[in-house]
Structures are given as structure tokens and as C-alpha cells.
Amino acid sequence: MSKKRISYFYDPDVGAYSFGLGHPMKPHRMRIAHDLIVAYDMISRMHVMRPPRASPEAMSAFHTDEYVDFLKKVTPATHDSLTYQGTRFLVGDDNPSFEGIFEFCTISAGGSIAAAKRLASGASDIAINWAGGLHHAKKREASGFCYINDIVLGILELLRTYPRVLYIDIDCHHGDGVEEAFYSTDRVMTCSFHKYGEFFPGTGTQEDKGRGKGTGYAVNVPLKDGINDESFPTIFEPVIAKILETFRPSAIVLQCGADSLAGDKLGCLNLTMDGHARCVQYIRKQNIPLILLGGGGYTVKNVARTWAFETACALGMENEIDRNLPWTEYFEWFGPRYRLEVLSNNMEDQNVKDGSLDEVRQKTIEQLNALGG
């Protein structure tokens, strides 16, 4: 496996932000992942950078000025008046106004924009921002724990250099914000794998394929509970292979949402760490400039393990890495086995028993064939 030039964007402040007591989204997981990355001595093998904070102007490349101004101003104390009693900008408990909300957004978005610039400059083959991947954020509204859509901002930056960008989303939830942003263009293909059916955000059927020039360029792969390491590659790999053949992307953004792992607090899929990372390995070997982003992931210790391991995959050192975890400040979290692993559980794979996965795969391939590849 060839050596690649990796840039890793990390802001040591990111772990200090809190969405509030009891909220499932925990920025602290980036710090735990980082500590593993340090302890495994990956830092010396890649270019490590603290990304510049994204400016309000940079955010306005996608979001409205009014919404960005709101995020700049809102605090827990001004929430009710600035959201018009929770009817604008932030609706419901998923997106609280927490202390430092705007700074958190500048870190997450700053990392993805910097990652895009780093690839486009030709300085790196793979750029990583585990604080990014916040795929639900809309132009004028927060949604599903996401306030600023760092992914859209990163892709817009890539489009200044690259003719075609492929976005792949393996988070358990539908990547609706990114899909919507590029729904009518043929320069960005979006492809989300997600649980569909009585699950947030409720979009992402195979009938939703894009519009106008973008018709066929939004790819949705709806899944049922329990997809595992055996069945997931039988849809991920042929679908991606077909996309690479028909769309021929000049750059790829892979959202590595870790709520598709077994045992996730919010997710309902059954991938192991190795099964999840296999997606990274499959994309890496295509030798196309690549951005790796975070996203969901709510069983914190498993998110940290997986993103640390996927950093090792980017470096091509996954076969050398010690599966016994090194000592870190959070070592005791990883008991009782203290291993670099996320194991599957005994849930049934609802995708294979009625042949639904075969139908979804066939329908996706037909959609891609219709593009005329």
C-alpha cells in the first residue's frame, strides 16, 4: 500500500464544548480520539495543524447572513428572544444554544475548509477533520445537532479547483443538508447510506435522485436495522465502484459518522470498527484526493477507537498497529478488554432476510446506469 501525505486538523479546544447535560453529542470524543492518535505515535507520520477558525464570511458561502449573525449572537440567556420562542434558527431540543456555540462552529467548519484548501493546493493526498461531518445543517436553520454545514463549505471550496466532487456518507442518519445543497448540480454527487424508516430525519428514499441538471446525482441507500460487516460491503463496494466508473470524481469527501457502529446509543446498525474502517480503506485505494470527516457517533469510547483506527488506515499503518490500547488519560474507559476494537452484537440483519438489500442495490445501479456511464 503506497505511502500518502496526510494532513490532520485538530483544535485542542474542541473537546471543551458541551451541548449540555444529557445531550448525546459530545465534542469531548474528538479529544479522546486525539489522545489515542498521539499515543499510537501517528502524529510524527502526518502534518498536524490547528485549523484557522472559519470566519462569518466563509460560513455565508452557504448559510444566510441573518442565520450566521444569529449564531454569533445567541447565548443560553438570549435563546428564547433570538429564536422567537424556539420557532426560528434553532427548533426543539436537538439544537440547544450552548456556551461557546459559535466558536465550536468556527472550529468544525474551519477544519473542513482548511482540509479542502490543503487538498486543492496539492500539498496532501488525504486531509482529516474529525470535528467536521455535520451533515444536517441547513442554509438558514440548525438541525439534528448540526449548526454550520462544514461539509457543504468544504465541498464549495473543492469546487473552486476540482470539476467533480463525490460525497459519501456512512453516518447512520441521512445526509440531508449536503444532499439538499447540491440537489440540482451535476458537479457534486452525494451518496448516503442510512437507516430509513421511523428514523431521523425521515428523508433519503431511492425516489429522491436530484433535480434538473442534478437528476441522478443524489444517491440514497436506505437500510434497515442490523446491517453488519458481512452484508454492508455487498452494497457499499459495488455502489461506490459504479459511481467511480460513471461519475469519475476528481476529489472525494467521506463522512465517517460512527453511529453506524454496533452498540451506538442512537444508531441501530451493527458494523464493527473494522467493518466501518473497510469503507475508508476501499476509498483510499482509489488514489483520489480525499477528505475524511467525522459526524455522528454516540458511544464515545467506540467513536474514539474508530476514528483513531481510521487515521491509522489513512496512514496505511493499520496492519502494524497494536490492538492492545496504549496508555492514555482515558485508559479506564476502554475496559474490560482495553482493545482497539468495536465488536458486533447478535442482532438480526433485517436487510438480508427479505432480499431488500438486493433490491436497493439493483435500483441504485440502475440509477447510475441511467447517467450513461
Catalytic residues: 136
Q: Considering the rule CB under 6 A, would residue 150 count as an interface residue with ligand TV7? A: no
Q: Considering the rule CB under 5 A, would residue 264 count as an interface residue with Ca ion? A: no
The residues, any chain, with a CB within 8 Å of residue 66's CB and separated by 6 or more, are 140
Give dist(CA 183, CA 212) in Å, integer: 8
Stretch that binds Ca ion, among 118-126, 167-175, 261-269, 363-371 (CB under 5 A): 167-175
User: Which backbone phi and psi does 359 adopt, to 5 degrees?
Assistant: -65, -45
Mask: binding to ligand TV7, 231-270, rule CB under 6 A, as x and -?
Answer: --------------------------x-x------x----
Q: Considering the rule CB under 6 A, would residue 144 count as an interface residue with ligand TV7? A: yes
Mask: binding to Zn ion, 281-320, rule CB under 5 A, as x and -?
Answer: ---------------x------------------------
Q: Where are the alpha helices (DSSP H) in the chain?
A: 28-39, 56-59, 65-73, 79-82, 101-120, 150-158, 176-181, 233-247, 273-284, 300-315, 356-369
Q: Considering the rule CB under 5 A, would residue 173 count as an interface residue with Zn ion? A: yes
* Percent helix, strand and coil across the chain, each to the nearest 5: 35, 15, 50
Q: Which does 186 bind (CB under 5 to 8 A by kind): ligand TV7, Zn ion, Ca ion, none?
A: none
Q: Considering the rule CB under 5 A, would residue 259 count as an interface residue with Ca ion? A: no
Q: How far is CA 370 from CA 166, 183, 277, 350, 367, in A?
A: 18, 17, 30, 29, 5
Classified as helix, coil or strand, 186 is coil
Supply the minimum distance, in Å, between the C-beta of residue 219 and ligand TV7. Answer: 17
Q: Considering the rule CB under 5 A, would residue 132 count as an interface residue with Zn ion? A: no
| 270: β partners | 228
Strands 126-129 and 290-293: parallel
Q: Considering the rule CB under 6 A, would residue 134 count as an interface residue with ligand TV7? A: yes
In the block, residue with C-alpha cell 449564531: 71
Handedness of CA 304, 310, 312, 314 (dihedral sign): negative
With beta carbons less than 8 A apart as the criterion, state whether 51 and 111 touch. yes
Q: Restricting to residues 174-213, which ones interact with Ca ion according to CB under 5 A?
A: 175, 192, 194
Supply the minimum distance, in Å, between the C-beta of residue 167 and Zn ion. Answer: 15
Nearer to ligand TV7, 26 or 363 (CB): 26
Sheet holding 218-223, edge to edge: 47-49, 6-9, 126-129, 290-293, 251-255, 165-169, 188-195, 218-223
Mask: binding to ligand TV7, 331-370, rule CB under 6 A, as x and -?
Answer: ----------------------------------------
Q: Which residue is nearest to ligand TV7 (CB)?
A: 296
Residue ranges binding ligand TV7 (CB under 6 A): 22-24, 92-94, 134-136, 144-146, 171, 173, 200, 257, 259, 266, 295-296
Residue ranges binding Ca ion (CB under 5 A): 169, 171, 175, 192, 194
